[in-house]
Each structure stands twice: as structure tokens, then as C-alpha cells.
Chains A and B, each alone.
Chain A
Amino acid sequence: MMPGVTRSTLSTKPRPLDPVLAAASRVILGKDREIRQALACLLAGGHLLIEDLPGVGKTTLAHALARLLGLAFSRIQFTSDLLPADITGVSIYERQTGEFRFLPGPVFAQMVLADEINRATPKTQSALLEAMEERQVTVEGETRQLPEPFFVIATQNPSYQIGTFPLPESQLDRFLMRIELGYPERGAERALLAAGGQRALADQLTPVIEASDLPTLQREVTAVHAAEPLIDYVQALIEASRRDPAFQHGLSPRAGLALLAASRAGAWLDGRDMVLPDDVQEMLPFVARHRLRSTQGTGMARAEDIAALIRAVPIP
């Protein structure tokens, strides 16, 4: 649901992250909706996959969010010769003390931007993906906790580009949501061309909230009420995805949980303390598309098939 469109009286609470949304949309022009999805993903405690062409503002978005939320930010540019140790860190021998000292890799940050993740080899990809799943890194037999909160935004070039190792489905499932940025609208692009230097603008942003507040907000999100009929609806959608001949296989139970979590975050961003079918319908494409494979061709599910799925399932 787009903020401000509906005049429903249900959204009674102040919208706590509206300032973040407003500030970010001043940096990434014309992408309010995508910023909202990214925030929702973060609030639901999941990792985000952004898939699009280079140069549409993926990095800027990650950067701006990190600044606004007061998160320690690091960026890993994935290349084909990147090694797992380049991500997790290495132990080096210190001559003075005669001991090995661990130099943490870039993954030890609150917000990690994994740029062009499908350019690296599967071995390196899996090092990051394991860190995402476990929220800890084991190097040389020693397990080290990653900072809290820990949030990965991975960007991916469309897989038809050359020199890419596409992520397998099981790895894609670790991303709570997947969004596309796309080209800006004409007006937004005009403003972008006129102003220029959005990256610099992002660097000047000041935190709106403290990083230490995020866990509290995430707890609030999990407390948003999902009523019986709403859970029925989520279940009906998942079951329909399993029967739908447009997809090779249906959504997993984990995808169902992800859908519910994302819907809660969406409702919370709207200032509601209950999830509505609208939230589920809004989040479904971002939660489901990268988890489903189309039966037409080999790629992931098509957006129109997801829209058709929504239209095929009556709201209980």
C-alpha cells in the first residue's frame, strides 16, 4: 500500500520510519516503493536481493539506508577471483607477539553490500550466504559472531549477462525479498540529471535512528497481529502456487513464513498493528518471484504469473 493514498482510519499510529523514507527518497529519486520494500525487508530481519542493470542506484540505495539507520557499512565488490577469505577475514602472524591475529573481513559490518554477487564463483558466494544464514563466521576453527543487526543487500546483474555464476535456488531462498529498481521515471531522471552526485548526497545523510533501536523496532514488527482469516489467506496463496501449472514447483513453508514476516513489516510501516490482505498482496511478488521457477523457459517466475496467482485465490 502506498503511503498517503488511502484515507483509511486503520493506520492510527505515527509511522515511525516515515522520516527515513522521506530522506532516502530525496537521494534515490522516484523510487519510494522500492525504498519501502527494502526497509520492510530489513525490519522483517531478512536479507535483500536487488537485481538490475548496473547504474540504476543499487549501491546508492544500500549506502543511504545504512547512513539513515546508523549502521556500520561495508561493501564487497564480488569478482571472479574473490576468495572466501576476502569476505570472512584472515589470521596473520604478528612478529612482535609471535601470535596469529584475526583480521576481520568486510562481512563484519551491520550492513554489508555484496555488489554483483553473481560475478564470484559459487565457493565464494556460499561463504557469504552461510554467514547470512548463521549470522556467524567460522574461520580456522573459531566461530565469531557477526554484529547485530546484520543485514545483507546483495546486488545481482541479470543472469543473461556474460561472466556470471547464477545463484542456485537454494541460495536464493536465503533472501527474504528480491526487488528490481528499474529505470527512473522521466521526471525523476530529469531531476537526477539536473542535481547529479547522488552518491555524495548519500554520504552527507545523518542517522535518523540509532542502530541499537533497530532490534526494538524489529520486535514491534513481529508483534503485528495476523488474524486467523489472514493466515488462511497466506496458506491459500501458498497452496495455489503449488497447484499452479505456471510454476515448476510451489512455495515452501519457509516462503510462507517469509511472506507473513514481510507482510507484518509492511503493515507496521503503515502504522497498523494488524496485517491486512493488502499487505500480503503487496509483498507476495517480492517474496515469491525469486523462489519460483516458471514452466515457460528456465528462468524465474514471471511477474504476470504472480499477478494471475493473486487473482486466482479468493480472499477468505
Chain B
Amino acid sequence: MSTRPAEALDRGAAPWLFATALATTLPHAEHQPLWLSALSATIFAWAGWLWWRNERLPGRWPLILLVAVACGGVLFEFRTLFGRDAGVAMLVVFMAMKLLELRSRRDATVIVTLGYFLLLTHYFYSQSIPTGVWLLSTMTLVTATLIRLHGGAVSTPAATLRYAGLLTLQALPFMLVLYLLFPRVAGPLWGLPQDAHSGRSGLSEQMAPGNIANLALSGEIAFRVRFAEPAPARGQLYWRGPVLEYYDGRTWRPQPSRLRPPQIEALSPALAYETTLEAHQQRWLLALDAPGTLPGDLTLDSTLTATNRVPLTQRQRFSLTAILDYRFNREEDQAVLRRNLALPANANPRSRELAESWRQAEPDPERLVQKALTLFSGASFAYTLQPPLLGEHPVDDFLFVTQRGFCEHYASAFVVLMRAAGVPARIVTGYQGGEANPVDGFVVVRQSDAHAWAEVWFAGRGWTRVDPTAAVSPSRVENGIAAAMPAGEPLPALIQLRSDWLRTLQFRWEAINNAWNQYVLGYNPERQRELLGRLGLPDADWRNLAATLAIICGTLLLAITAWALYQRPRLDPAARLWQKALHRLARRQVNCPPWETPLALARRLEDERPALAPAVLKVVDAYLQARYSGILDDLKKLRAAIRRLP
């Protein structure tokens, strides 16, 4: 693997290449298996050590062995060498290994090219603002490395970086134009594998004690909402998710149901809002109770849950309406009512006994509900995120022993009591509340707002919402979970009640992120059409788009060229004429490197191109006379000599 000296890589370029390799691979460490990051880090360290000690790079066989180990490892880990994760892992290891064969300019060019490509791969994993900033600056670094490779050590590192930064800045307008005008495809250009979405928390389709309490510890955002009118009071913000009707004594599950359209009677005007849901891998939406009219792809199932045709695998925006005051299914199927009275036979005997005694004393369902709520509001019940463990009969244990619990405990106990007392009841899960960001006016609903409440059916009124948690802890519903928690219980910093600068900062950052999501990442074909319409291109097909793109990019190029020409150091007239003469000579395959003096050029041509030499010498003499003598010359001689150049 010998290289000609002209292609050999100078030692000073190596730190640039190391920096490029490191900056383009480092963020992948976050989602790669640990052994892979360790392997890459070891290779980095090894290559750095060899460079530092100026020692020989390893030969062919160690490298082949290393490649085999890396490929084997990736194959074992991912079961494939292709696809997003395995492919990126291979690229990262290869980037590190390339540092072990940094011999020639060619090797360095491979690193730079690979660096540019690796930049792209980070967008498979994250499209947030910090990622964008990191990649933009890394791109500048890669460009600087390229400049350093071609320009040698003449410029200082700072000057090289400045130059690369300038190039990046010049690329920005083109980037913007391409972003806005390039024909957009609905959905991602290439299908991202499922694992892009794994590890997301959110409401699940069933409820057992503890599920929601875990969610409450997460400050992650579940969805953001913008109301057309002033937002309703916090106590009215019930975001309806799956309804759970089947109970096995411990866990609540939804009951697969026939598609019988729900009957809604609106008692208040529809409230319009727009919600942006984070991907949660489920088909249901979290719509404000009760959902009104729904756009195209959405349907309402029989339990009033808005459902999408396909699971939400990416952040999506919906325009919805809600009816805050409603009657739901005043007439209900007997089968449905029966289903919502069912209880497992042997579970929670004490609770059933209690409910039975209530019913004998008071047959009116609404009074029964009041009785249960009164029970919860008694002094002995407490609201806490850290309830004691419950035994075989969880509702019995909760009601008669521990009396400490979270929304799911109260909802579950309430529904069990109601069913035992002969009132049809079921659990509704979703989110409750939300916090208005004062910076951009969006209402932010977090995982910590996850909630469970109950719905009971009264003849003549239909399904009616009852929130037993509100009975035990009214502030949970009115002020949010942070206000409801007893002092001393751990809550993530993000959702604690605070009014300090950190809180303000968090609001600002979330507003910026939201704007990024709404306007940058959410720039879809419809938005593009909208924008083009406003620009006077109402029905742009791809031809119009291409033409517009070409025109704008061309104009930009012209502007930048004009600016560069304007900024170019003003050459004095003699130097300009000399440049002209050099251009002429270049056409005759005579090249003059920038460091070669005119006289040296003339002398060289005496040997190389004797026929040309005398004419060139005349130009050289006239040029030197005009430029270096200090005598103001009218350049006539120089012009004449250049004209006589063959």
C-alpha cells in the first residue's frame, strides 16, 4: 500500500480527520449497543496513539480481522447487516477503522465523504433542534477538514473554520429554498423501521393498579392543544382515551364492541381546537370530552373514543371540536348495560357486601353515587402516588385497609361499588388538565396528567362522568397533580409547581420546540400547497415547482457570484492585465503556479516552449515595469505585448 509522495498525507491533517470522525459518530453512541461504542472508542484511541507516537499503521491482516469481528458483532446483535440500525452501526465502525489506514489523501477523502454521509444518518433518530444545530456545526467541521486537506497548512485552524462557516452560511439560502419548494411526499421518504418508535411511554390499553402512577412520574409531553377561543377551565379538560368495561378482579380491559354509533345530544356549542399528538403507537386519539365532528380518517367508536384508521407512529396534528356539556346514549343497549354491571364472582366480597347494603337502603342511582363519593371524601382516604401494595382483593384492601391511592384506585373502587349496587358503570382513561404555556398559548398535556375516572349510566341522562378522585382531592382536578401531592412525594422536576426562572425557561424552550414541530417538521404537502398559493402559485404541480426552484436557485447563485466579484480584492490594472495574459497562456497549456515569479516563468519557458518564450518575456518585462518600478506607466506596452501573445 505504498503511495507516491505527492499523495502522502501530511501529519497536521490528522487531527482534523480525527475530529471529523469523532463528531460525526459520537451522537450515535446514544442509541447503539454499548459494545459497539466501546469498540469504536478503542479503535479511535489506538489510531490516536499511533498518530501521536508517529508509529506504523497496522498492516492488512489485523484490519481484516477487525472488520470480521465488527461484521460478526453487528450480525449477532441485529441479525442483519442491512437496514437502519445495522447499517449505521457498520458505518460508525468503518469510520473508526478508516483512521487505522490513514496513509494517503485518498484515505482522507474517504473519511470526509463518509463524514458527510454519517451526518445524514443522525436524522433517522432525531429531528430536534439540538440535533439540527449539532449537525450544522459538524457539517462546518467536515467542510473545514476538506479545505484543510486541499489547502495544506497555510491557513490557521481558526481561518479554515471561518472559511467553512462562510460556505455553510452561503448554503443556507439554498437549503431554505429547497426545503420550501422541493416537492414534498406525505410521510417519510423511506419507511423507517418500527424500532424508531419503541420505548415510548403513554397510556396503555388496560389498567391495573400502578400503571398510571408510573406515568405520573414522567414530564414527557403527551400532546399540545391550541383552542380557537379562550381555553375552558382546567376542571373541564377531560381528554378521553380508551374506555375500560371488562374487569377480572384486578385488571380493567376494553370490551371489544360492535360499531354502533354513539348518540350525542349537544347542550353547549361546539368548541374548536387543534391538537398535536406525540406518537404513541395506538389508534385512539385523546379528544376533549365529548368529541364533536371528526375529520376524514377518524371515527368515534361506541364508547365515544375517537379512533384513527392506523396507529399514530409519528407526531400528528388534528383539527377537532368538543362539546363540553352533552348527553351520551340516553338509550343504551341492554347488552351494554349488562356488561357494565358484571363483576367477577369471588373478588372483593366486602366491597360487594357494602354496596349491597347501600342499595337496600337507597335504590336511587344518583344517591348511590353521592354515597360513594361521600365515602371517599372522608378524612381517612388520602391521595398519594405511593400507595401500599394491595392483596388478593384489591378493592377490598383499598377500601377497608389501606385507604390510600391514586386516581386508578379510586376509579376502580368506585366502579366496583356502583356495579355491585346495580348502577351500570365503567372506567374511562385519558388525561386530565393541562397547562397553558404563557409564551405561545398552547395548552401542554404531559404524561403526568394521565388520569382515570368513571362513567355511570342513569336512565334518562345517559352516561355521566363521575370523577371519584375529585372527591378525595379536588385540587388534583382543579390545579393539577403537583398541587394534589402531599409534600415530600417525589415528582419529576419538570412538573413540580414552581414559578421561578427555570420554569419560565422551560416554557420558552417548549414553545420553541413546539414551533419547530408545528412549522418545520410539520411542513407537509398541504402546508406547502398553502404557502405556494399565498406566493401566487395556487395549483403547483412538480413542473411549476421545478421551474420555481430553478429560477430562485439561479437568482441566488447570481447574487452570491455578484457579491463575491464585488468583494474580490481590487487588482490594480497591471495585475489584471497579467491575469489576462496568464489566462491566454493557460489556453496554450502553460500554467503558472501562484508562487512562481513572472521572470521564473519566462526562464522556464525558454526551455519548455522556446517558440513562446520571447513573446512571454516581452509581456513579463512590461508587466514588471508597470507593477514594480514605481514609475506611473500607461500600460500601453503591456497591452500591446499581451495582444502579440500567440
- When the two chains form their complex, are residues B621 and A8 in contact, meaning their CB atoms are under 8 A apart? yes
A residues contacting the other copy or chain, number (CB 8 A): 30
A4-49 with Cβ < 8 A to chain B: 5-10
- The yes or no answer to A273 lying at the interface (CB within 8 A) is yes
From A10, A243, A273, A278, give the contact of B600 (CB < 8 A). Answer: A278
Q: Nearest Cβ in chain A — how far from B510, in angstroms?
A: 46
B4-61 with Cβ < 8 A to chain A: 12
From A9, A227, A277, give the contact of B597 (CB < 8 A). Answer: A277
Say which one of A57-65, A169-177, A214-222, A306-314 lies at the interface with B. Answer: A306-314
- The yes or no answer to A244 lying at the interface (CB within 8 A) is yes
- The yes or no answer to B62 lying at the interface (CB within 8 A) is no
- The yes or no answer to A110 lying at the interface (CB within 8 A) is no
- When the two chains form their complex, are residues A314 and B628 in contact, meaning their CB atoms are under 8 A apart? no
- When the two chains form their complex, are residues A274 and B154 in contact, meaning their CB atoms are under 8 A apart? no
From B595, B621, B627, give the contact of A311 (CB < 8 A). Answer: B595
B536-555 with Cβ < 8 A to chain A: none
**Contacts of B575 on A, CB cut-off 8 Å?**
229, 316
- The yes or no answer to B390 lying at the interface (CB within 8 A) is no
1/0 per residue, CB under 8 A from A, across B511-535: the answer is 0000000000000000000000000
- The yes or no answer to A90 lying at the interface (CB within 8 A) is no
- The yes or no answer to B296 lying at the interface (CB within 8 A) is no
Q: Nearest Cβ in chain A — how far from B144, in angstroms?
A: 15
- The yes or no answer to A76 lying at the interface (CB within 8 A) is no
- When the two chains form their complex, are residues A227 and B621 in contact, meaning their CB atoms are under 8 A apart? no
- The yes or no answer to A1 lying at the interface (CB within 8 A) is yes
- When the two chains form their complex, are residues A243 and B617 in contact, meaning their CB atoms are under 8 A apart? no
**Contacts of B596 on A, CB cut-off 8 Å?**
315
**Contacts of B593 on A, CB cut-off 8 Å?**
311
- When the two chains form their complex, are residues A312 and B624 in contact, meaning their CB atoms are under 8 A apart? no
Q: Nearest Cβ in chain A — how far from B515, in angstroms?
A: 43
- When the two chains form their complex, are residues B153 and A278 in contact, meaning their CB atoms are under 8 A apart? no
- When the two chains form their complex, are residues A9 and B595 in contact, meaning their CB atoms are under 8 A apart? no
From B155, B156, B595, B620, give the contact of A8 (CB < 8 A). Answer: B620
- The yes or no answer to A281 lying at the interface (CB within 8 A) is yes
**Contacts of B624 on A, CB cut-off 8 Å?**
8, 10, 274, 276
From A246, A276, A310, A311, give the contact of B599 (CB < 8 A). Answer: A276
- When the two chains form their complex, are residues A10 and B625 in contact, meaning their CB atoms are under 8 A apart? yes
- When the two chains form their complex, are residues A225 and B602 in contact, meaning their CB atoms are under 8 A apart? no
Tell me the interface secondary structure of chain A in the complex. Answer: loop
Q: Nearest Cβ in chain B — how far from A179, in angstroms?
A: 21
Q: Nearest Cβ in chain B — how far from A306, in angstroms?
A: 12
1/0 per residue, CB under 8 A from A, across B565-600: the answer is 000000010010000000000000000011111111
Tell me the interface secondary structure of chain B in the complex. Answer: helix
**Contacts of B153 on A, CB cut-off 8 Å?**
243-246, 312
**Contacts of B602 on A, CB cut-off 8 Å?**
6, 8
**Contacts of B152 on A, CB cut-off 8 Å?**
312
B109-161 with Cβ < 8 A to chain A: 152-156
Q: Which residue of A lies closest to B600 (CB)?
A: A278
From A9, A225, A245, A277, give the contact of B12 (CB < 8 A). Answer: A245
A240 to B297, CA, bound (A): 67
Q: Which residue of A lies closest to B599 (CB)?
A: A278
Q: How many B residues touch the partner, as a band?
A: 20 to 34
**Contacts of A225 on B, CB cut-off 8 Å?**
628-630
- The yes or no answer to B226 lying at the interface (CB within 8 A) is no
- The yes or no answer to A230 lying at the interface (CB within 8 A) is yes
- When the two chains form their complex, are residues A8 and B597 in contact, meaning their CB atoms are under 8 A apart? no
A281 to B155, CA, bound (A): 20
1/0 per residue, CB under 8 A from B, across A270-314: the answer is 000111111001000000000000000000000000000011111
A225 to B630, CA, bound (A): 7
- The yes or no answer to B404 lying at the interface (CB within 8 A) is no
- When the two chains form their complex, are residues B621 and A10 in contact, meaning their CB atoms are under 8 A apart? yes
Also in contact, A243 and B155, with CB within 8 A (given A8-B621, A277-B597, A281-B597): yes
A276 to B575, CA, bound (A): 14
- When the two chains form their complex, are residues A314 and B594 in contact, meaning their CB atoms are under 8 A apart? yes
- When the two chains form their complex, are residues A227 and B628 in contact, meaning their CB atoms are under 8 A apart? yes
- When the two chains form their complex, are residues A227 and B12 in contact, meaning their CB atoms are under 8 A apart? no
A6 to B600, CA, bound (A): 9
**Contacts of A5 on B, CB cut-off 8 Å?**
603
A211 to B599, CA, bound (A): 34
From B154, B594, B595, B627, give the contact of A227 (CB < 8 A). Answer: B627
A315 to B156, CA, bound (A): 19
**Contacts of B630 on A, CB cut-off 8 Å?**
225, 227, 274
Q: Nearest Cβ in chain A — how far from B576, in angstroms?
A: 12
**Contacts of A7 on B, CB cut-off 8 Å?**
617
Also in contact, A314 and B595, with CB within 8 A (given A243-B154, A243-B156): yes
**Contacts of B598 on A, CB cut-off 8 Å?**
277
B610-629 with Cβ < 8 A to chain A: 617, 620-621, 624-625, 627-629
From B12, B594, B600, B629, give the contact of A274 (CB < 8 A). Answer: B629
Q: Which residue of A lies closest to B151 (CB)?
A: A312
**Contacts of B594 on A, CB cut-off 8 Å?**
314-315
**Contacts of A273 on B, CB cut-off 8 Å?**
629
A229 to B152, CA, bound (A): 24
Q: Which residue of B lies closest to A246 (CB)?
A: B153
Counting from the closest, the 4 A-B pairs by CB-CB distance are A314-B594, A225-B630, A277-B597, A227-B628
A-B contact pairs, 24 of them (CB 8 A): A6-B603, A7-B617, A8-B599, A8-B602, A10-B625, A225-B630, A227-B630, A229-B572, A229-B628, A230-B628, A243-B153, A243-B155, A245-B12, A246-B153, A274-B624, A276-B597, A276-B599, A277-B597, A277-B598, A281-B597, A312-B152, A312-B153, A315-B594, A316-B575
Taking Cβ atoms with an 8 Å cutoff, the residues of B that contact A are: 12, 152-156, 572, 575, 593-600, 602-603, 617, 620-621, 624-625, 627-630
For the A-B complex with A6-B602, A8-B624, A274-B628 known, give 6 more contacts whose Cβ atoms are closer than 8 Å: A5-B603, A10-B625, A225-B628, A225-B630, A227-B629, A243-B155
